[in-house]
Chains A and B, each alone.
Chain A
């Protein structure tokens, strides 16, 4: 669809002209996010600075019969910010102020464009942090974390984003502004805050967020445990969880990924191991000492070859650097990768990992695994060279089969990346017609006209008589 000049003029009347962009290169840039989803197109890209400006963007879009798509840092991996239906794209990156930090109350109000790690850095002087720590935390925004209900390694003990968001000021799809939730513990009414978190921009745009702050633990220890068999490593994960110990984080790296990380970071990961576990325990000193001893015992009982406890903070940071650099390390193996995200019951990790290997092999693809083992959250990474003809089709087919295998093992479609466009059409694998209808009703209650980020989360046909516009040629 061509750009209607009056739409741009009306937006420029509300925002400074240089914050309403229509250059082809920008429209193309904002047609993508960090996913490999193609087919998005922005009609115009806006950079509001305030709640009022976000509201103005929504109202102008609506007056012109346009949908709108909110976007944070664009690090999403499921196509949630890929604009469908030629929407007005509303980018929140310039709304990046930390508005207040109340260290006593352990609450901060932030704008949606604040970068996750920047918030935690600003909190350091108070001995506090923001617990959700997605691997993209150096780049992703809190608004995006809210939209996707993001996770991260430390969500095992601390919970995902929803557990750390107390209230959200939202510009609703009709242009009204409301605060969902509250700083008090039982605000009353339906939990609109809980519904909004993870709604992937389909219920409005967060403009201010009250996040709960977590005290830094007095003691932290990190262990690197290596195994000659993935089965033993997975059994160790189950034994740790069943033993009543909830570590702060429990991550697994398998096979060639270990070598890729070691070549990249030189953190001393044992390159000949079949699997390594990164286990972190935190809390008060006696608990932590005891937990380290218990993890060591459980690991040795389950066939661990070596157990290395980081001696100091530098060594601990180095071990984590290895884990957090995994995706950068993949570049040494292949120029492109497709990162997947599913969850399986923790007791079925081995079975599903084997199935994933099999699927990759049958599609002639390399698979690497680095994932949140403690909560069963798999991240199979398919490495490939996009220049190879026909490879993308194989990557997508293998990806779909991995999701299906996870669901068949009693798992779910996504643990922390979201549904977006990527998994939208897989939703019926997990939900019945009645289940999807209930979700569609919930969405419609917020957005009766389907103006907010159309074409995401719910597949076509989720409700009766729907007219969801999904452009030809969109694929994932």
Chain B
């Protein structure tokens, strides 16, 4: 099973700058990587999927779309965003969630086990294959959002979820998205641009219908959803009420989540000194020579 991971480890070796490349859908996140870094790609393919376990072992170079297509045969999917061409390894390394985070949870909660190649060129495992596990430290969560700066993710075990049998988007103007969020039981997504509110519901058709009617919104074709501006802000959900007229222009906000899509990047936030120090020590512990994605900061 680990032959392909051993091959990846051999390719990465124990010296020289290296950067893992996936689908390049979010390659710029965290800053420019030293162009001298050698590009490596994780292997692809599904290793094992047992539907009754609701888990899948998959190599990190597999695209999310390919994985979802395979899982669909068993009525399952993974709770990861499936931007065109995005790989499992890339989506996990970046850690950004998709528009269904309100219902699906963050990317970090989808990962059960990670196998990565370390700075010493060794294959290392963190976590475990079962849906519940507290054996040892939570290395998988450390790797989600680490932007490839701690090791190269080669293979993971992901939790799967049932594909929603029925889902509908609703939209309308003049509906307060914050009141809507409180009134609606577990919507999958609520979006707001200051004027229009959109909501995604899934579940039993009668429930979707009842909650949709109560919302004051109208059913829409999902192709009419707003285009998302390119930059991503992260705000406490309670602060989203301040977005209109905050001087930073247009937005599409994920209500209840706090991700806001805007035209300009989020101003850099102050990080407390003990946090900076912990981040530095973790980086030094996993990659003392600074081999992985030099130049990039998570």
Contact = CB atoms under 8 A, between A and B. Distances in A.
Contacts of A23: none
Interface stretch (A41-49, A357-365, A433-441): A433-441
A124 interface: no
A446 B95 CA distance: 22
Interface stretch (A3-11, A66-74, A279-287): A279-287
B136 to A, nearest CB: 5
A448 B284 CA distance: 12
Contacts of A432: 124-125
Given A286-B207, A287-B203, A198 B137 contact: yes
A441 B286 contact: yes
Contact of B138 (A162, A287, A372, A446): A162
A239 to B, nearest CB: 8
Contacts of A179: 272, 275
B264 interface: no
B35 to A, nearest CB: 24
B141 interface: yes
A404 to B, nearest CB: 13
Given A149-B138, A186-B232, A246-B161, A241 B52 contact: yes
B73 to A, nearest CB: 13
A375 B204 CA distance: 24
Contact of A283 (B50, B185, B275): B185
Interface stretch (B13-21, B60-68, B102-110, B191-199): B102-110
Nearest to B205: A286
A409 B52 CA distance: 16
B274 to A, nearest CB: 4
B137 A439 contact: yes
A444 B206 CA distance: 53
B213 interface: no
Contacts of A284: 185, 203-204, 207, 210-211
Interface string A335-375: 00000000111110000000000000000000000001001
Nearest to B283: A190
Interface stretch (A262-270, A325-333, A392-400, A416-424): A416-424
Interface stretch (B36-44, B220-228, B235-243, B244-252): B235-243
A142 B109 CA distance: 20
Contact of B234 (A177, A184, A345): A184
A363 to B, nearest CB: 24
A442 B234 contact: no
Interface in A146-167: 148-149, 151, 155, 159-160, 162-163
Nearest to B276: A189
B1 interface: no
Given A149-B138, A290-B204, A438-B139, A186 B124 contact: no
Given A284-B207, A290-B204, A438-B118, A186 B96 contact: yes
Interface in B118-158: 118, 120, 122-126, 128-139, 141-142, 144-146, 150
Given A178-B275, A194-B108, A435 B124 contact: yes
B278 A427 contact: no
Contacts of A65: none
Q: In the complex, which of the residues A162, A176, A435 has the most CB atoms of chain B within 10 Å of its own CB atom?
A: A435
A186 B95 contact: yes
Contacts of B120: 434
Contacts of B205: 286
Contacts of B52: 238-239, 241-242, 346-347
B246 to A, nearest CB: 15
Contacts of A163: 105, 109
A414 interface: yes
Contact of B126 (A160, A185, A246, A439): A439
Q: In the complex, which of the residues B232, B237, B279 has the most CB atoms of chain A within 10 Å of its own CB atom?
A: B237
Given A179-B272, A215-B185, A418-B134, A194 B142 contact: yes
B257 interface: yes
B132 A155 contact: yes
Interface in B248-284: 254, 257-259, 269, 271-272, 274-275, 278-279, 281-282, 284
A246 B165 CA distance: 13
Interface string A86-113: 0000000000000000101100000000
A132 B139 CA distance: 21
Interface in A166-186: 172, 176-180, 182-186
Nearest to A403: B135
Contact of B135 (A151, A372, A414): A414
A149 to B, nearest CB: 5
27 contacts: A105-B238, A160-B132, A184-B236, A185-B101, A185-B237, A185-B259, A190-B142, A190-B146, A190-B282, A191-B142, A194-B138, A198-B134, A244-B76, A246-B54, A283-B185, A283-B207, A345-B50, A345-B53, A347-B53, A412-B130, A419-B135, A431-B125, A438-B118, A438-B126, A439-B126, A442-B285, A444-B285
Given A186-B234, A190-B145, A438-B124, 18 more contacts: A148-B134, A162-B109, A163-B109, A179-B272, A190-B278, A191-B144, A195-B141, A241-B53, A283-B185, A286-B203, A287-B203, A343-B128, A345-B50, A412-B130, A414-B134, A423-B135, A439-B126, A442-B286
Interface of B: 50-54, 74-76, 95-97, 101, 105-106, 108-109, 118, 120, 122-126, 128-139, 141-142, 144-146, 150, 161-163, 165, 178, 182, 185-186, 203-207, 210-211, 232, 234-238, 254, 257-259, 269, 271-272, 274-275, 278-279, 281-282, 284-286, 298
